[in-house]
Amino acid sequence: MSHMQLGDWQPYDEAGRRKYVNGAERKRFLHAADQMGNEVRALCHVLAYSGCRISEALNLTRDHIDQERGALVIRTLKRRRLRFRMVPIPRRLIIMLAAMPQHDNGRIFSMHRSTAWRQVKQVMLAADISGPMATAKGLRHGYGICAAGKSVPPNLIQKWLGHASGVTTAIYLDAVGVEEREFAERMW
């Protein structure tokens, strides 16, 4: 598998360990999240099913839940201009978010970013996930790689993750190596 780089990012750390959660880890993470309180549970599900950044999740309000389309409208925070993207999520997550109390500031989640990071780390530990992938970023990268592995068109992956450039999205396509493996299997 080749390691396409964008700046310094690649799907593996200096020791060759994955920086993204795989499907089995994501399943364990969601199961562990289901054992937590409602706010932590909902946050973990949003991160796993939308691929959004933790700060983007914490900025969500009820107005960002599009129940009719079954999607979240996420404000992309890594852009200079104000941009929103619509990301489809499971109906059960729409129901979970709609049941959450709205806080005085209008947001769904009341916790600070550093608290959210700690909560995600705690859920990762409960799911027996450790290493560089055991972070909110690991969930985001896992979302991108999962989408690429399921043959989601690159333009949709780019849109859902809020990437300004297709070059960034190409990292996930390269990391999954599904087609590369299929070619190799023809030789075995």
Q: What is the pLDDT along the chain (188 residues), one digit of tens a residue?
A: 344 444 556 788 889 888 899 999 999 999 999 999 999 999 999 999 999 999 999 999 999 999 999 999 999 987 778 899 999 999 999 999 999 998 888 899 999 999 999 999 999 999 999 999 999 999 999 999 899 888 899 999 999 999 887 777 777 777 666 556 666 777 78
User: Facing residues of 9 across strands?
Assistant: 6
Residue 81's pLDDT is: 86
List Cα–Cα distances, 15 to 11, 21, 30, 162, 184, in angstroms: 11, 16, 27, 29, 25
Give the whole-angstrom CA distance, residue 174 versus residue 144: 11
Domain with residues 23-185, CATH architecture: Orthogonal Bundle (1.10)
Residue 150's Cβ-count burial label (10 Å; 0-12, 13-18, 19+) is exposed
pLDDT of res. 179 = 56
Residue with token string 């289901």: 34
Q: Do 100 and 121 touch, CB atoms closer than 8 A? A: no
Sequence-distant contacts of 119-122: CB under 8 A, at least 24 apart: 119/36, 119/40, 119/43, 119/44, 120/43, 120/44, 120/47, 120/54, 122/36, 122/40
Cα separation values, 80 from 8, 74, 170, Å = 21, 15, 22
Put residue 16 in one of left, alpha, beta given phi > 0 → left and psi -120 to 50 → alpha. left
Q: pTM value?
A: 0.88
The domain limits of the chain are 23-185
Specify the pairing of strand 83-88 against strand 65-66.
unpaired
